Chains A and B, each alone.
Chain A
Amino acid sequence: MLEINLKKKLRHFTVDVSQQIDTETLVLIGHSGCGKSTTLKMLAGLLRPDEGKIDLNGQVLYDQKQKKNLPPEERNIGFVFQNYALFPHLTVTENVAYGISRLPTDEKNKRIQETLSFLGIEALASSKPAMLSGGEQQRVALARALVTQPKLLLLDEPLSALDVSTRSHVRTELKEILKKLSIPTVIVTHDYEDARVLADRVAVMDQGEIIQSGVPREIAQYPANHFVAEFTGTNLVAVEKRQPGLPEYVAFDPWKAEVSREAKNSPYEWYGEIRDIATLGGFVRLHITGSSSFYADIPIEVYEKEGFQHGENIYSRVEENEVRPISISQDRTVRPEQKPKKIPTEFKAKPKKWKWASFAIIFVLAFMVVTYGVTSKSATGEVGSQTEMFALVAANATDPFNKLIVEFEQDHPDVKAEATYAGTQIIRTQLEQGAKADLFLSADLEHIEAVKEQGLIEEFFPVSNNHLVIVVPKENKVGIESLEDLGNKEMKLVIGTDTVPIGRYTRDVIKKATVAYGDGFDEKVMDNVVSLETNVKQVLQKVSLGEAEAGIVYTTDVTPEFLKTVQVIEIPEDLNIVATNYISVVTKAPNKEFAEEFMQMMLSDRGQTVFAEYNYDPLN
């Protein structure tokens, strides 16, 4: 026995249900969105009511006053969803076994066998849900719920997932299964036929409230209002002739109505227009609307003899002993007419050929735009017939070279010089791959000699000298004061990797220092190394961020900006190296004369002054 009394506020109305259910099948019927599924979910514990109480066989499942709300897994209520919700990754047997996995194996197998045979689905035991028909899925879902021996069974729209042809047959089967079970069952549906077949008792629901409940026959014969009548297919009509002793409303079955073109002056007679004519087997159903709207089923012979037409006005009447007087309960607020869904104005697909043609046109337009952009740009580039020079420059010389470009362009307003700055290995590869450069500045003798051997340059000259320094963070927590400290103290040291010039120079310095400071100095220094960077800026950056406690870089890299965060420790000259940049004119230079001139300027005093400004050492 189930006793419920539940309230829950939904967006447009409040669900308010009080029911008592014995071992019987109660069907909740109503339009979609009337709160019936919400009621079911509250029973199962999947939704929390606002207030009320649920009592199942004396056990309180929910009580707002006691602040008690059992979770679904503790309620022992079987729930079968509309689309059956079988676990797709499990076989039928595994699905059925899902809820009883804690039972001992013997007991479990026995129950599964019993349930499968009860529902007649033993043959499906090892199938996967995807292989089953809708009716089979429903049985598996039922089996899965029943095997846990629930105290209450809830079915949400159990038949609506089936197609029309199988529905009635599955419905009958379901009816038989439910009959054999002796547990309270609540079924939710929007189809009166389901209710009629399955229900011991029907409850009609609208806007969260139960309007009428009773055995199906009672509800069909004495609908409480138009809403209920609409569901059951019963005619509920206002009596037109206001005579004393006649009821205000009567209900009658469509097949009890009689129609004719002439009035017969019967007390239960209505005049109205034929709105629809439907042939249903041996009879024809007329939908008649006058002051009331109702159906009249007439034998097909009568229909053919009289030849009633669509839109014709006729009289309908019912014998006095066939009408059931109804004192109507007020219909709830009239359901707002379902707004007709806006049917999108039919989209006329353009003929397919248009699609491809427009594609071609768009492509051509896009192509024109792009090429226009390019040509107009190159046109402006030629204004004043400027000569464009291009240099490949080792990254360490970025700042002085930029300055030199500015000076050179001041002397030659018709020349536009540009440069790419990168590691020597990279600019060497670019030159080897045929970059159209005028000048090549290498930070490394080996690279420029290799380029010369390939005939890419003819001769090269030293253009600037540089030396290495130690950098430490401004706070210098480790207390590094000299090159020797790099081997004497523990620290996080960052140097260049041995494949780049800075890394090779650093190793040269360490080698010299090992001779000076004694064997094992190099090993002690290398033990302190935490990272081998591929580029000198990375070394400096890490010291500047305070992550590394020391690093070795070119003196020229420590710009005033970096001096805010790092301090420089000089390496003794006899242990230091001379890092020389070499400049050369490329053999196939497009602007060889300007290139020669630029190079000479770099080698001249004027050029050397620029290098000196950026901390480079004098050439001699």
Chain B
Amino acid sequence: MLFLQRAGQFVFFFLVLVIVTYLVLPLISVFISKSPTVLWEKLNGSLAYEALMLSLQTTIISILFIILFCTPLAYCLAKKEFIGKKALEVGLKMPIVAPTAVVGVGLLLVFGQNGFLGGTLSLFDVEIPFTSIAVVLAQIFMASPFYINTARQSFEAVDDQLLAVSRTLGVSAFKTFWRVTIPLALPGLISGVALSWALALGEFGATMMFAGNMPGKTQTLPLAIFTAMESDADVATAISALLLSVSFLVLLFVSLVEKYMKNKLAAN
């Protein structure tokens, strides 16, 4: 029995160790496979700078749109009861499981020249495919479900009694939202922003399909990696390292902000 017990403990920690190594090693290897100077040289004179700038610009716009449109939705899902809520919840999770190439085709079917809205849009002389707008649309589509989920959870965590008491103190529902709900949900909202921002940065399949691959216009970092893969694997590695660093910085920055906010909420 003692032997089996020991063996079981060993197996347990072995499994944990294996999966942690497996999940971490490929990402680290991007940084350590080549010397930093080589990576740095490869980055210069490649498409990386343009792609980085485009990625940052498009993701910032995407995030702003996600915050603007998805926050009210997340609030409704958290605090309101309505018919078809369950169905809506499932529907909103679909983008998470849909293959990105399918999403790209779907977006083309809606916004493309022959799509549902393509005709209407072309009346206003708006063309979306092959433009930076398409990049933003693809990113919003892929990243918003994660924001909605986290935002919804943080709204749910705000005690209804606090909202009720605010009303009895003479503060309207709208002002209560800004003075109580938002401050209390903010740490969660911020981590939602971080998660969806990192996902938007990494968005690849739908962008490739829907926006095309044009340096300076629609070629984001992941597309630059894919393009570089076809010629010089070292450049691809270098850009991958860049993308991972940017995503890491975004996550780090946001988690620091979140920690600061939480500390402020707790007793000081």
Shortest A149–chain B CB gap in Å is: 10
Contact A494 to B168, CB < 8 A, known contacts A89-B264, A534-B230: no
Contact stretch, chosen from B2-10, B60-68, B140-148, B189-197: B2-10
CB of B226 within 8 A of CB of A534, answer yes
CB of B161 within 8 A of CB of A81, answer yes
Q: List, in ascending order, chain A residues with CB within 8 A of B218's CB.
A: 531
Among candidates B10, B168, B226, residue contacting A78 with C-beta atoms closer than 8 Å: B168
Among candidates A44, A360, A532, A547, residue contacting B227 with C-beta atoms closer than 8 Å: A532
Q: List, in ascending order, chain B residues with CB within 8 A of A45's CB.
A: 167-168
Contact A83 to B167, CB < 8 A, known contacts A73-B172, A500-B230: no
Find residues 93-138 in chain A having any chain B CB closer than 8 Å to their own CB. 98-99, 127-128, 130-131
Contact A531 to B231, CB < 8 A, known contacts A46-B164, A77-B168: no
Contact stretch, chosen from A333-341, A350-358, A607-615: A350-358
Shortest A469–chain B CB gap in Å is: 20
Find residues 403-456 in chain A having any chain B CB closer than 8 Å to their own CB. 423, 425-426, 429
CB of B11 within 8 A of CB of A363, answer yes
Contact A360 to B108, CB < 8 A, known contacts A81-B161, A499-B230: no
Closest 3 pairs (CB-CB, A-B): A531-B212, A99-B169, A356-B8
Q: List, in ascending order, chain B residues with CB within 8 A of A81's CB.
A: 161, 164-165
CB of A492 within 8 A of CB of B4, answer no
Contact A359 to B227, CB < 8 A, known contacts A73-B172, A99-B171: no
Query: Chain A: which residue is nearest B210 at the CB level?
Result: A547
CB of A499 within 8 A of CB of B228, answer yes
CB of A73 within 8 A of CB of B265, answer no
Contact stretch, chosen from A15-23, A197-205, A319-327, A538-546: A538-546
Q: Which of B8, B168, B183 has the most CB of A within 10 A?
A: B168
Q: List, in ascending order, chain A residues with CB within 8 A of B267's CB.
A: 127-128, 130-131
- Inter-chain pairs besides A131-B267, A361-B8, 16 sampled, C-beta below 8 Å: A73-B167, A77-B168, A128-B267, A144-B165, A353-B4, A353-B5, A356-B4, A356-B8, A357-B7, A360-B7, A360-B10, A425-B233, A532-B212, A534-B230, A538-B208, A547-B130
Contact A546 to B11, CB < 8 A, known contacts A73-B171, A530-B214: no
Give B contacts to A, CB under 8 Å: 1-2, 4-12, 15, 105, 108, 112-114, 129-130, 159, 161-162, 164-173, 179-180, 183-184, 208, 211-215, 218-219, 226-233, 264-268
Q: Answer whether residue A145 sits at the interface, using C-beta atoms and an 8 A cutoff.
A: yes
Contact A542 to B169, CB < 8 A, known contacts A85-B161, A88-B184: no
Find residues 57-104 in chain A having any chain B CB closer than 8 Å to their own CB. 71-79, 81, 83, 85, 87-89, 98-99
Q: Answer whether residue A387 sits at the interface, using C-beta atoms and an 8 A cutoff.
A: no
Shortest B59–chain A CB gap in Å is: 20
CB of B208 within 8 A of CB of A98, answer no
Q: List, in ascending order, chain A residues with CB within 8 A of B230's CB.
A: 423, 425-426, 497, 499-500, 534
CB of B183 within 8 A of CB of A89, answer yes
Among candidates A89, A361, A546, residue contacting B112 with C-beta atoms closer than 8 Å: A546
Q: Which of A71, A360, A538 has the most CB of B within 10 A?
A: A360
Q: Answer whether residue A148 sits at the interface, using C-beta atoms and an 8 A cutoff.
A: yes
* A212–B229 alpha-carbon span in the complex (Å): 84
Could you give 8 example pairs across A and B, Cβ below 8 Å? Answer: A79-B168, A88-B184, A363-B15, A499-B228, A499-B230, A532-B227, A545-B105, A547-B130
CB of A357 within 8 A of CB of B1, answer yes
Q: Answer whether residue A253 sits at the interface, using C-beta atoms and an 8 A cutoff.
A: no
Number of interface residues of A (CB under 8 A): 57
Q: Answer whether residue A569 sits at the interface, using C-beta atoms and an 8 A cutoff.
A: no
Q: List, in ascending order, chain B residues with CB within 8 A of A72's CB.
A: 164, 167-168
CB of A83 within 8 A of CB of B5, answer no
Among candidates A44, A88, A357, A426, residue contacting B168 with C-beta atoms closer than 8 Å: A44
Q: List, in ascending order, chain A residues with CB within 8 A of B4's CB.
A: 353, 356-357, 360-361
* A85–B170 alpha-carbon span in the complex (Å): 15
Contact A529 to B214, CB < 8 A, known contacts A534-B230, A547-B129: yes
Query: Chain A: which residue is nearest B166 at the CB level?
Result: A98
CB of B214 within 8 A of CB of A145, answer no
Q: List, in ascending order, chain B residues with CB within 8 A of A144's CB.
A: 165, 169
Shortest B70–chain A CB gap in Å is: 23
* A57–B112 alpha-carbon span in the complex (Å): 65
CB of B231 within 8 A of CB of A499, answer yes
Contact A89 to B265, CB < 8 A, known contacts A356-B12, A531-B218: yes
Shortest A184–chain B CB gap in Å is: 15
Q: List, in ascending order, chain A residues with CB within 8 A of B226's CB.
A: 534
Shortest B245–chain A CB gap in Å is: 23
Q: Answer whether residue A533 sits at the interface, using C-beta atoms and an 8 A cutoff.
A: yes
Q: List, in ascending order, chain A residues with CB within 8 A of B113's CB.
A: 546-547
Shortest A552–chain B CB gap in Å is: 15
